[in-house]
C-alpha cells in the first residue's frame, strides 16, 4: 500500500472516488428514470410508445458515461485489492455484478436502437426485461460495495 503521507496518491484517490460516485449517480439516475418513464410509456399506444422510447436515448448515453467513469475510477481504486482478491468473496460478487451491469447496458442499447429502427414492440419488451436486470445489478453493486469497503 502507498504511504499515507503521499499527497499525490491521496489527491488521486479522492479525485477518483469523487468520479466513481458521480458515475454511480449517473448510472442509478438513468435506471430510475427508465423505471418511471416506463410507467408513462405503458399508458401510450404502440407507435407513440416507440417514439417515446426513441426520445429517451439521452438517458442511455448518460448511463454509458456513468459506467465509463465508474469503471475507469473503480479500476484505479481497486489497485490495492487486486492481490488479495481471492480472499474477498464479496468483492468478487461486486465485480461479477459490474459485468452484469455492462451486459445489461449493452443489450438495452441494442434493443433501443432496434426498437427505433423497426418500430418493434418485442424490442421494447426486451429492453424492459434487461432494464430490470440492470436495476437489480446496479443496486447489488452499491450494496456489495458498502459491505466490502465499510
Please state whether the predicted TM-score (pTM) of the whole model is above 0.85: no
Output DSSP code: residue 49.
H
How many Cβ atoms are within 10 Å of 42's Cβ, its own excluded? Answer: 10
Number of structural domains (the chain) is 1
Residue 1 lies in a domain: no
- Write out pLDDT tens, residues 93-137: 999 999 999 999 888 888 877 776 776 777 777 878 888 898 999
- Write out pLDDT tens, residues 12-60: 889 999 999 999 999 988 888 888 888 887 787 767 776 777 677 778 8
Output DSSP code: residue 3.
-
Residue 67 lies in a domain: yes
**Burial of residue 118, with CB atoms counted within 10 A of its CB: 0-12 exposed, 13-18 middle, 19 or more buried:** exposed
Domain range for 118: 7-149
- What Rg value do the Cα atoms of the chain yield, rounded? 18
Residue 2 lies in a domain: no
Residue 70 lies in a domain: yes
| 8, three cell numbers | 499525490
The answer to whether 105 and 44 have CB atoms below 8 angstroms apart is no
Amino acid at each position: 500500500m502507498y504511504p499515507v503521507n503521499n499527497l499525490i496518491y491521496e489527491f488521486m484517490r479522492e479525485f477518483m472516488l469523487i468520479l466513481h460516485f458521480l458515475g454511480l449517480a449517473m448510472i442509478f439516475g438513468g435506471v430510475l428514470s427508465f423505471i418511471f418513464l416506463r410507467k408513462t410509456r405503458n399508458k401510450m399506444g404502440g407507435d407513440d410508445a416507440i417514439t417515446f422510447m426513441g426520445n429517451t436515448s439521452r438517458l442511455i448515453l448518460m448511463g454509458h458515461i456513468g459506467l465509463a467513469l465508474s469503471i475507469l475510477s473503480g479500476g484505479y481504486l481497486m489497485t490495492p485489492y487486486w492481490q488479495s482478491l481471492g480472499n474477498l468473496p464479496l468483492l468478487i460478487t461486486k465485480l461479477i455484478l459490474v459485468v452484469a451491469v455492462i451486459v445489461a447496458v449493452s443489450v438495452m442499447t441494442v434493443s433501443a436502437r432496434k426498437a427505433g429502427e423497426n418500430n418493434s414492440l418485442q424490442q421494447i419488451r426486451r429492453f424492459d426485461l434487461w432494464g430490470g436486470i440492470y436495476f437489480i445489478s446496479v443496486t447489488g453493486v452499491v450494496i456489495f460495495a458498502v459491505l466490502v469497503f465499510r
